Amino acid sequence: MDGSPSASDEVTGLCQELIRFDTSNFGPEGSKGEREAAEYYAAKLDEVGIESQLFESEARRTSLVAHWEPDGCDRSLAPLLIHGHTDVVPAMADDWTVDPFAGEVVDDYVWGRGAVDMKDFDAIVLAVVRQRQREGRAPRRPIRLVITADEEAGGGKGSGWLAEHHPELIGDCHYAIGEVGGFSLTVNDRRLYLIQTAEKGLAWLKLIADGTAGHGSMRNDDNAITELAAAVSRVGSYRWPTRLRPSVQQFLAAIEDALGVQIGTDDVEQTLTRLGSIARMVGATMSNTANPTMLGGGYKVNVIPGQATAGIDGRFLPGHEQEFYDTIAQLIGDKVRYEVVTGDVAVETTFDGDLVNAMTASLAAVDPDAIAVPFMMSAGTDAKAWSKLGVRSFGFAPLRLPPELDFVALFHGVDERVPIESLQFGCQVLDDFLDRA
């Protein structure tokens, strides 16, 4: 349609508008704004003639599904799942330079909670789909757009609920792209684009120690807090054995080539410090991890409680789930038990095939110096839910980033922001990708 804005023209405004929906997810305490954000997304699709459906796992926990199968796409091919989420982690406004939900543009960046996780990619997808639909340019294959609620709390009320209650909406997709991947990392003037092929499994645990309640002035050899504290100390100080998965090996090989040094498994984080906070993420993908994060017990200083609890954020490598739980049981001992508050699978696929070739070619078409490299993420995404339906998932939300930007530190961080040029780059790559995928 003549005179219509391009995806690059629209994407900044769309990202700003999405950020202005406060979709903070407070976990068990619930969230807000997901319904309004999903309705906004649906309305933007409807403007160009794409219908969508809204699903709610419970009141206002809203996810969107749209079938984009315009004339000209090859309907004999399985649909490609492109997924995002509207919810974000909470932000403390007093800590920020700008209002985290104002969607301000400052110094050619869009600032706000969700700017990199992941309303940037939500906006890129929306901008590209709207432009192609207006211009009558069909993707190579049918596209299934899924924008979920609740990803930041494990997806139980979003992707997990959809996969369980409406598997027919996703189960015919063979491949998926979504967060976190496709962003550039500049090493010695080489631009590596990290494509996520694996992510660790999730094990949020509650440790429980039971003891004998009593007066704080008396001797007590069955003190729940004492037992719990010892168990937490053992878990927190345990050094998990190194286990190198293929995605980590391939990533380290690419970094070694770029840096011209050999990276030992015992000093990865120290060797990679020049890469910024991604060094910590790489280190975390070389073993299982378990970090104590919460403590609870007692109600008065002179009363020994009968029970004490702790929270553990556990993450396990693909293929090492049983090792994780067996080790936790040994570390906490016989007097402390654990409950799995939230658990989910690890995800892993190989860095090969037609879709990987399409991603690599699309990056090179826009950035001829692009080097595509697989990596494993230490956290998790909605890919866990799709994997249970047999969907092979990749993190591919393409962004060409300034070399000096410590991008990984912005995920869930203060002053989260994304360069406008990066959003526009993402639109160009995704547009090209839809012709190849």
Q: What is the pLDDT of residues 12-28, one digit of tens each?
A: 999 999 999 999 999 88
Q: Please tell me the distance from the alpha carbon of residue 279 to that of residue 283, in angstroms, as a whole number.
A: 6
Strand locations in 280-325 (E): 289-297, 303-304, 307-316
Q: Please tell me the distance from the alpha carbon of residue 56 to that of residue 410, in angstroms, as a whole number.
A: 30
* Helix 321-332, helix 224-237: angle, nearest 10: 140
List for the chain the helix, strand, coil content (%; round to 5).
35, 25, 40
| 3, pLDDT greater than 80 | no
Q: Please tell me the distance from the alpha carbon of residue 318 to that of residue 57, in angstroms, as a whole number.
A: 29
Q: Are 377 and 408 in contact (CB under 8 A)?
A: no
Nearest Cα to 419, choosing from 107, 89, 100? 107
Q: Are 3 and 124 in contact (CB under 8 A)?
A: no
Q: What CATH number does the domain located at 201-344 have?
A: 3.30.70.360
Determine the average pLDDT of the residues in 413-434: 98
Residue type, 409: A
Determine the average pLDDT of the residues in 117-131: 98
| 1, pLDDT greater than 60 | no
Q: Are 119 and 15 in contact (CB under 8 A)?
A: yes
Nearest Cα to 327, choosing from 246, 428, 406, 243? 243
Strands 175-178 and 392-395: parallel
Output b/e per residue, 240-252; b: 16+ Cβ within 10 A.
Answer: beebebbbbebbb
Both tokens of 256, joined, read: 């070694």
The ranges of the chain annotated as CATH 3.40.630.10 are 7-197+347-436
| 274, pLDDT greater than 80 | no
Nearest Cα to 246, choosing from 276, 279, 285? 285
> How crowded is residue 342: how many other Cβ atoms within 10 Å of its Cβ?
16
Both tokens of 411, joined, read: 């995920």
Both tokens of 363, joined, read: 């990056």
The ranges of the chain annotated as CATH 3.30.70.360 are 201-344
- Dihedrals phi, psi of 114, to nearest 5 degrees: 100, -5
- Dihedrals phi, psi of 50, to nearest 5 degrees: -110, 120
Q: Answer positive or negative: Cα dihedral of 47, 49, 50, 55.
A: positive
Mean pLDDT of all residues belonging to the chain: 95
What's the pLDDT score for residue 2?
59
Determine the average pLDDT of the residues in 322-351: 97
> How crowded is residue 266: how many other Cβ atoms within 10 Å of its Cβ?
10
Cβ burial, residue 352 (10 Å; 0-12/13-18/19+): exposed
What's the pLDDT score for residue 92?
96
Which homologous superfamily does the CATH classification assign to the domain defined by 7-197+347-436? Zn peptidases (3.40.630.10)
Q: Please tell me the distance from the alpha carbon of residue 43 to that of residue 60, in angstroms, as a whole number.
A: 17
| Beta-carbon contacts of residue 74 (< 8 Å; ≥ 6 apart) | 140, 141
Place 268 in a pLDDT band, splitting at 50, 70 and 90: confident
Place 281 in a pLDDT band, splitting at 50, 70 and 90: confident
Q: Please tell me the distance from the alpha carbon of residue 108 to that of residue 189, in angstroms, as a whole number.
A: 23
| 263, pLDDT greater than 90 | no
Both tokens of 254, joined, read: 């690419």
- Taking the CA of residue 243 as centre, how many other CA atoms within 13 Å lie in the half-sphere pointing to its CB? 17
- For 82-91, write each residue's pLDDT tens digit: 999 999 999 9
